Amino acid sequence: MTYSFPEEVLEHVFSFLTSQNDRNAASLVCRTWYEMERWCRKRIFVGNCYAVNPRVLIRRFPEVKAVELKGKPHFADFNLVPEGWGGFVYPWIVEFARVYPWLEEIRLKRMVVTDECLEIVSKAFRNFKVLILSSCEGFSTDGLAAVAANCRNLRVLDLRECEVEELSGHWLSHFPDSFTSLESLNIACLSLEVSFSALERLVSRSPNLKTLRLNRTVPLEKISKLLQRAPQLADFGTGAYSAEIRPDVYSSLQEAFSGCKKLKSLSGFWDVVPAYLPAVFSVCSQLTYLNLSYATTQSPDLIKVISQCHNLQRLVVLDYIEDMGLDTVAVTCKDLRELVVFPSDPFVADANVLLTEEGLVSVSQGCSKLQSVLYFCRQMSNSALISISKNRPNLTCFRLCILEPRAPDYLTFEPLDVGFGSIVENCKELTRLSMSGLLTDRVFEYIGKHAKKLDMLSVAFAGDSDLGLHHVLSGCESLRKLEIRDCPFGDKALLANASKLLTMRSLWMSSCFVSFGACKLLGQKMPGLNVEVIDERENLNLLPENAPVEKVYIYRTVSGQRLDMPDFVRIMGKDKNGVYNLSLCDKGL
């Protein structure tokens, strides 16, 4: 006896499933549900653009409205992935243009986007609404001009830390006068000046504008004009926050800010002149997000602002804040969920500021809702880490960067194994961890034993042997992303845990001891994995099998070999057709 709901009912029920994981689970129940679900899935997330290819995607999901793709591995942010490696979005855009004329949203992270891609996007999708490019590159202001000119219904244009070839600032003027649907504009990463009058007119005719993040070139004196035109703003990023000290400029700025009753997020503040900071005091108590990470001003000035931000949930700041400033955060920002402290002078060995582990301990004590930490500092101790873990067992993301590689506990000179061990043991909900400092295999033993919910782990200059890697791969049940650099991990742990790699999105290892031979073997044995050796040296064929590769990037995939690899990328253990090659006497790569 079979019961079946009418399709419409199933579709209606599925419409309440928003998470992709839930939808994936539902589609495994039975064939009917699989078919039903795939026809009504509107939002697609592809965490690794090489895990699947466009054809596979569009064959399964014919009615997509929103796509999110990620390209390069995370370490590309730190120049570890050579130029030209990949992550080209063009083939995807071409397929989408062919099959999804009603596509509305595209979100890309670490992908190469060309002007041609942007032009296609601007013309192929009639109802295109949202374009978010995060850490992308490959396009110029011409591409932006095409988007501005042609996307009649655009709501969001968000360029987050992209590398844009800036030919002119004129692109902004391409938004037609009839264009009024803008809700969010983020051009903070651009360095060329855009026409202020065009910007002002755009803001004036965008009644739904909620987010406006300017770039550095918009002068402080002109900001009040923009704020007056858009008092409904919820998220504002200033330009350079400096001007001649003039009372008239100050008072109009102050007035403009106080008119923004809905403002909750504030950022920008390049080149900050402290005398102008009080102009934002009136909105401080409204703020839930404050980014002062370009405000190169000293602790007292920062404290004056932060001490008024009682409702702050996310704070991004430079280490100029110092321990004293973090004490203020601990006392004032009782709702704080996320703290990010960037280094002001990362390449200088000596401390230029009085920021130590104490500041972080202080915040962990005072801010009971703190979940996420990214902290750059110059010294750390096991006792501080233990305190932090006991204060904040609710941490979900803990990223600590001690600037000097392999720096030990500065009090005892011991490794920081016990400290990080305490973090993973006490913070049972931890999903993301980045470690630094002097670490032996022992810390990996702790991680393998306790970090059961860990999803992403970043490791650098740590460990003693393959045992370290083995602990992590065999113990961390939820691990999906592992990135390792400059650690003495080699073939043994990798090959022993080959099947684990199929349960993960990706593994990155650079400057480790993984050999060519092992990569080839892994690629041969595991057809579901692409084992990419990224190595820019010449004459790789002359190196022995046991020579270590420069970099290896391993990821699960259903799409077989990539077709867009540069010559320094080799997929190991598979022949040209993507079929694995069992010939062990084949020395070719």
Question: What residue ranges bind other proteins (CB under 8 A)?
Answer: 75, 77-80, 135, 161, 163, 189, 242-245, 270-271, 273, 275, 293-294, 296, 320, 342-354, 356, 358, 376, 378-379, 401, 403-406, 408, 410-411, 413-415, 438, 440-442, 445, 460-461, 464-465, 467, 485-486, 488, 490, 511-513, 546-548
Nearer to other proteins, 105 or 491 (CB): 491
Nearer to other proteins, 63 or 536 (CB): 536
Nearer to other proteins, 270 or 289 (CB): 270
Nearer to other proteins, 23 or 72 (CB): 72
The dihedral built from the CA positions of residue 576, 577, 579 and 583, taken in this order, carries a sign that is negative
Nearer to other proteins, 499 or 546 (CB): 546
> 147 near 131, Cβ under 8 Å?
yes
Concatenated DSSP letters for 380-429?
--HHHHHHHHHH-TT-SEEEEEESSTT---TTT---SHHHHHHHHHH-TT
Q: Supply 427's token pair.
A: 């913070």
Q: How many CB atoms lie within 10 A of CB 412?
A: 12
Question: Closest Cα to residue 318, out of 337, 338, 299?
Answer: 299
**Cα separation, 575 vs 561, whole angstroms:** 9
Query: Least distance in Å: CB of 414 to other proteins?
Result: 7
Nearer to other proteins, 54 or 408 (CB): 408
Nearer to other proteins, 283 or 384 (CB): 384
Nearer to other proteins, 119 or 466 (CB): 466
**Cα separation, 585 vs 587, whole angstroms:** 6
Nearer to other proteins, 96 or 446 (CB): 446
Query: Least distance in Å: CB of 41 to other proteins?
Result: 33
- E-strand stretches of 65-208: 66-70, 105-109, 130-134, 137-140, 156-160, 163-165, 184-186
Nearer to other proteins, 54 or 490 (CB): 490
Query: Least distance in Å: CB of 151 to other proteins?
Result: 26
Of the chain, the end-to-end C-alpha distance in Å amounts to: 56
Query: Least distance in Å: CB of 93 to other proteins?
Result: 25
Query: Least distance in Å: CB of 563 to other proteins?
Result: 28
Q: Supply 46's token pair.
A: 């592809």
**Cα separation, 392 vs 330, whole angstroms:** 13
Nearer to other proteins, 160 or 201 (CB): 160
**Cα separation, 111 vs 565, whole angstroms:** 14
Question: Closest Cα to residue 424, out of 364, 476, 374, 377?
Answer: 476
**Cα separation, 561 vs 285, whole angstroms:** 53
Q: How many CB atoms lie within 10 A of CB 348?
A: 11
Beta bridge pairs of residue 483:
458, 508
Query: Least distance in Å: CB of 62 to other proteins?
Result: 38
Q: What are phi and psi of 150, to 5 degrees?
A: -110, -20
Query: Least distance in Å: CB of 141 to other proteins?
Result: 17
Beta bridge pairs of residue 509:
484, 552
Query: Least distance in Å: CB of 305 to other proteins?
Result: 17
Query: Least distance in Å: CB of 550 to other proteins?
Result: 8
Nearer to other proteins, 13 or 348 (CB): 348
Q: Supply 232's token pair.
A: 């409904």
Phi-psi region of 36 (alpha: psi -120 to 50; beta: other; left: phi over 0): alpha
Query: Least distance in Å: CB of 112 to other proteins?
Result: 16
Query: Least distance in Å: CB of 402 to other proteins?
Result: 9
CA distance readout (Å), 422 to 220, 356, 400, 426, 492: 47, 19, 14, 6, 28
**Cα separation, 273 vs 291, whole angstroms:** 16
Query: Least distance in Å: CB of 538 to other proteins?
Result: 14
**Cα separation, 344 vs 298, whole angstroms:** 11
